[in-house]
Structure 1
Amino acid sequence: MPTLFEPLATMPARTVRIDIDGTERHVPTHYSIAAALLESGAAACRTTPVSGTARGPFCMMGVCFDCLVEVDGVPNVQACMTRVRDGMRVRAMSGKARLA
Structure 2
Amino acid sequence: MSRILDHPVLGKIEDRNKVTFQFDGKTYEAYKNETIAAALLANGIRKLRVHEESGTPRGIYCNIGHCMECRVTVNGQANIRACLTVVEKDMIVESGKQLPNIVKRMVEEA
- TM-score interval (norm. to shorter): 0.7 to 0.9
User: Equivalent residue for 2:108?
Assistant: none
Alignment of 1:36-51 (within 5 A): 36-51=39-54
Q: 2:5 aligned with 1:9, yes or no?
A: yes
- What is the Cα deviation at residue 23 of structure 1? 1.2
- What is the Cα deviation at residue 30 of structure 1? 2.0
Q: 2:63 aligned with 1:64, yes or no?
A: no
User: Equivalent residue for 1:35?
Assistant: 38
Instruction: Find runs of 4+ consecutive structure 1 residues off by over 4 angstroms.
Output: none
CA RMSD of aligned residues (A): 1.8
User: Equivalent residue for 1:92?
Assistant: 95
d(CA) in 1 for partners of 2:56 and 2:5? 34
Where does structure 2 lack aligned partners over 5 or more consecutive residues? 7-11, 104-110
TM normalised by structure 1 equals 0.86
Number of aligned positions between the proteins = 94
Q: Identity percentage over the alignment?
A: 32
Where does structure 1 lack aligned partners over 5 or more consecutive residues? none
| 1:29-73 deviations in Å (ceiling 9; x for gaps) | 121000111111111111112211100111110011000000011
Select the structure of larger CA radius of gyration.
2
d(CA) in 2 for partners of 1:26 and 1:36? 7
TM normalised by structure 2 equals 0.78
Q: Which region of structure 1 is more displaced relative to structure 2, 67-76 or 87-96?
A: 87-96
d(CA) in 2 for partners of 1:17 and 1:89? 10
